[in-house]
Amino acid sequence: MPRGDPNMDVSVVIVNWNTRDILRDCLQSVYAETMGVEFEVVVVDNASADGSAEMVRAEFPQVRLIANQENKGFAAANNQGIAISEGRYILLLNSDTVVLDNAIAKTMAFADQHQEAAVVGCRTLNPDRTLQPTCFMYPSVLNLFLFATYLYKLFPRNRFFGRERMTWWDRDDVREVEVVTGCYMFVRREAMDTVGLMDEDYFMYGEETDWCYRFKRAGWKLLFAPEPCIIHLGGASSKLCADAMYLYLRKSTLLFIGKHRSYRAYTVARILVILFLALRIPYWLLASLARRRDRQDCRRRVAVYAKAIREVCIHSRLS
């Protein structure tokens, strides 16, 4: 584990995969909107084919760049960046974000005032400046069931139906949460030293949930701070391979439950996920017959759900 430099406040670690232009905007915002803080930026490029690494070298020579020859996944790439970082805090920042109004310095001030916090999250906005709900609860059988029913969409202000995504909360106050969303995770090095790095069993999705769970079990708090603010475009990399990302999301949820819940809970979770997927196949088959213009997309969805069911059926509890 890196020991850090007491004179370096924050190490901003950004993992990138084929988001060159968005990454440029992100880096520009970090340097333009971060004042009164000693910080460094580490970019880990996961074998992008769009010239992202070349752009960083040419336009941001002050950035510490790691250019991977293969896509190592989100958790492993973040761990690479953390391994060479020196700050007493590490900010894991998505490449599809824009930092606003000195958010990093504000988050550091908040973290300094709340020494019990291992991780701090911030207020996140959509590009049109509407609120983007962040922070949520751990995956569980109950939360999987409520998500599958879509009742949280019908009753977003209901604390029971909206419990997993905390849809009833306006993100306007300081609050202890279970999971800080991975697009902006402000992590205390001291806390990281007690639990270790991200679990690289997670290739994409679920790694921040697992990390937050381990921090909580070690006695740390996870806090949301409403004053620091960023814009999050959302899914810039995952849109490039949406079908694969959908599969990773489902498998990561099961992986978390397999690692941290009972075997019975894991078995029930697998059944719920299979039912969730299976019930959607007839709908999209009928849609493919009724929607001539969207027929190809509907059939693609059917194929994705069918593949996901196969993946879940053969899924091992800890892999």
Look at residues 203, 235, 267 and tell me which one is the last residue of a structural domain.
235
pLDDT of amino acid 236: 55
Same domain, 208 and 306: no
Say yes or no: 51 and 72 in one domain. yes
Q: Output the pLDDT for position 102.
A: 98
Q: Can you give the pLDDT at residue 153? A: 85
Helix axes 295-313, 263-278, angle to 10 degrees: 160
One DSSP character per residue, 118-134 reads EEEEEEEE-TTS-B---
Domain assignment of residue 153, yes or no: no
Same domain for 188 and 300? no
Same domain membership, residue 99 and residue 74? yes
Could you read off the pLDDT of 137-164 as tens digits, one per residue? 999 999 988 887 878 888 889 999 999 9
> Residue 197 forms beta bridges with which residues?
none
Do residues 127 and 271 share a domain? Answer: no
Q: According to the model, what pLDDT value does residue 258 have?
A: 93
- pLDDT value at residue 243: 65
Contacts 24+ apart (CB under 8 A), 57-66: 59/24, 59/27, 60/27, 60/31, 63/27, 64/40, 66/42
Q: Take residue 275 and report the two structure tokens written for it.
A: 């039912």
The pLDDT, as a whole number, for residue 244 is 66
Last residue of a domain, one of 185, 207, 235: 235
Tokens in use for 173? 């106050």
Mark whether 24 and 59 lie in a shared domain: yes
Q: Residue 155: inside a domain, yes or no? A: no
Q: Which pLDDT score, from 0 to 100, does residue 235 have?
A: 59
User: What pLDDT was estimated at residue 304?
Assistant: 86
Is residue 37 assigned to a domain? yes
Nearest to 213 by CA among 254, 261, 250, 147: 261
Our count of domains for the chain comes to 2
Do residue 186 and residue 49 come from a single domain?
A: yes
Given the structure tokens 């769009």, which residue do they identify? 50
Q: Same domain, yes or no, for 129 and 183?
A: yes
- 211: burial class by Cβ within 10 Å (0-12, 13-18, 19+)? buried
Residue 62 within any structural domain of the chain: yes
CB of 104 closer than 8 Å to CB of 228: yes
In DSSP terms, 188 is beta-bridged to: 89
The closest of 49, 2, 56 to 28, measured between CA atoms, is: 56
Instruction: State which residues form the domain around 67.
Output: 10-135+171-235
> Is 143 within the bounds of a domain?
no
pLDDT score for 292: 80
Which pLDDT score is estimated for 3?
Answer: 59
- Strand pairing report for 184-188 and 89-93: antiparallel
Does residue 245 share a domain with residue 110? no
* Residues 230 and 261 reside in one and the same domain: no
153: alpha, beta or left, given left = phi > 0 and alpha = psi -120 to 50? alpha
Regions of the chain with pLDDT less than 70: 1-4, 235-245, 317-319
Residue 158 backbone dihedrals phi, psi, to 5 degrees: -85, 125
- Look at residues 218, 235, 252 and tell me which one is the last residue of a structural domain: 235
Same structural domain, 214 and 305: no
243 and 229 both lie in a single domain: no
Any bridge partners for residue 92, and if so which?
Answer: 13, 185
Q: What's the start-to-end Cα distance of the chain, in Å?
A: 25
53 closest CA partner among 88, 85, 95: 95
Show the DSSP H helices in 206-294 as ranges: 207-217, 242-260, 263-278, 280-290
